[in-house]
Amino acid sequence: MKNVYFDSAATTQIREEVVDKMTSVLKENYGNPSSTHSFGRSSKSLIEQARKTVAKILNVRASEIVFTSGGTEADNLALNSAVRDLGVERIITSRIEHHAVLYTVNQLQDCFDVEVEYVDVDPMGNIDLEDLEARLKNSDKKTLVSLMHVNNEIGNKIDLKKTAELVKSYNALFHSDTVQSIGHFNLDLSEIPVDFTAVSAHKFHGPKGVGFAFVRSHSGLKPLIFGGEQERGHRAGTEGVHNIVGLEESLKLAYENLDEEKEYISSLKKHFIDSLKKEVPGVKFNGACEDFENSTYTLINVRLPLSEEKALMLLFQLDLKGIACSKGSACQSGSDQGSHVLNAFLPDEEKKKPSLRFSFSRYNTKEEIDYVVKTLKEFIEN
């Protein structure tokens, strides 16, 4: 039995160079960054160097980078403070956002009586920008728009610059979950008028438990976690220096190797799509997977021609064959509910068919794809 990992949208294998860098920091830079002695100053300097590295990659100010425990915390920081501190009375989002956004928005609606609107999604899972503009025109209430750059389940991309410019033309705030895009796409945030973004290191071969929020200067955002003056007062708590250095190293390596790895991973995606079409009659692709311009090169979402009864055994059988992939988002694992993303745009009949997300990284091969396609074909035919 082979063991093949096609779940990199859930988390990625950490790069060896990143492990080495983190191990060195754990051994040698153990001082508390808030301490004023040399041990503390040594740790603090590593954090500030990492902040500068991240800022340079995104072409923003170092002061606009706030290290967090990951994308979920970064999303919560922006959304909660926008309502609590910045006077936002209305949030426009979509029903295909990550639950880190959707559940936070629901909580804000319950606790602060925030008005919530959901922008339309077309039959391919794309955000309807005409509907977004109509909603922005429709109210004078202070508004925040929250739309993710790359959807974590179906891979659809929005035009981030165009969307941000539209939102800002109506004097609204714009938040984007960029967890699936930073580390995989070049984003110059000096050219994209987004106010807040969220990032997680473990999506680009870095450690789990660390990420950052981009917070536009003079936004007025206040902390979500209180207790100290760390992160320039934006986020209390002793920083995990080794994790922050691991984030820095993994992001740096992601962009140093971006063009080469993007070309390679794109070839894997194309091979997967072509092989499935050839070997599995009736296979369909959810969202804009087949459109390489309007979807990410890092994943596909596949709808298979299986009965509901047989579909119940699919993931179990793949796991027995050593194949790791996702039914919907990994953040929903163990849930009996279908994917909220697919439910937002698929016809009822198509919702009954099993959908799988396969997501790729630099560590995958075409031979692994051939093994997966062969396994799927045998399961469907037997």
| Cα atoms found within 13 Å of the Cα of residue 348, Cβ hemisphere only | 0
Q: Quick count: other Cβ atoms within 10 Å of Cβ 36?
A: 9
In this predicted structure, the answer to whether residue 1 has a pLDDT above a threshold of 90 is no
Could you tell me if 98 and 105 are in contact, meaning their C-beta atoms sit under 8 angstroms apart?
no
Question: Does 335 have pLDDT greater than 80?
Answer: no
The total of other beta-carbon atoms located within 10 Å of residue 307's CB is 10
Residue type for 118, please?
Y
With H, G, I as helix, E, B as strand and everything else as coil, classify residue 282: coil
pLDDT of 331 strictly over 80: no
In whole angstroms, what is the distance from residue 357 CA to residue 336 CA? 17
Residues whose CB falls within 8 Å of the CB of residue 261, separated by 6 or more in sequence, listed in order? 254, 362
Strand order of the sheet with strand 299-303?
Answer: 284-285, 299-303, 355-359
How far apart CA 21 and CA 126 sit, in angstroms, is 40
Q: Output the six-digit token pair for 9.
A: 């949208």
Give residue 294's Cα distance to chain centre. Answer: 16
pLDDT band (50, 70, 90) for residue 332 = very low
Instruction: Name the pLDDT band for 90 (thresholds 50, 70, 90).
Output: very high
**Residue 222 CB-density burial (10 A; 0-12 exposed, 13-18 middle, 19+ buried):** middle
The two structure tokens encoding residue 28: 């040698």
Q: Is the distance from CB of 210 to CB of 244 less than 8 angstroms?
A: yes
Contact (Cβ atoms closer than 8 angstroms) between residue 369 and residue 268: yes
Query: What integer is the mean pLDDT of 86-92?
Result: 98
The whole-number pLDDT of residue 234 equals: 93
The 3-state DSSP class for residue 177 equals: strand
DSSP of 249-284, one letter per residue? HHHHHHHHTHHHHHHHHHHHHHHHHHHHHHHSTT-E
Q: Verify whether residue 111 is a known catalytic residue.
A: no
Q: What is the pTM of this model?
A: 0.96
Mean of pLDDT values over 42-54: 98
Residue indicated by tokens 């929903």: 332
- Are 54 and 248 in contact, with CB atoms under 8 Å apart? yes
Q: Which of 260, 333, 322 is nearest to 297 (CA)?
A: 260
Q: What is the pLDDT of residue 312?
A: 85
280-297 confidence digits (pLDDT tens) = 999 999 999 999 999 999
Is the separation of the CB atoms in 70 and 178 below 8 Å? no
Query: Averaged over 197-215, what is the pLDDT?
Result: 98
Per residue in 55-66, pLDDT (tens digit) is 999 999 999 999
Active-site pick, 111, 289, 325, 331? 331
Residue 190 pLDDT grade (very low, low, confident, very high; cuts 50, 70, 90): very high
Determine the number of helices (DSSP H) and then strands (DSSP E) in the chain: 13, 12
Burial of 301 (0-12, 13-18, 19+ CB in 10 A): buried
Q: Compute and round to an integer the Cα radius of gyration of the chain.
A: 21
Predicted local distance difference test score (pLDDT) of residue 382: 86
Alpha-carbon distances, residue 86 vs 38, 167, 296 (angstroms): 39, 17, 33
All domains in the chain, ordered by first residue:
4-12+257-381 (3.90.1150.10), 16-256 (3.40.640.10)
Which pLDDT tens digit goes with each residue over 93-137? 999 999 999 999 999 999 999 999 999 999 999 999 999 999 999
The sign of the dihedral angle between the CA atoms of 270, 272, 276, 279 is positive
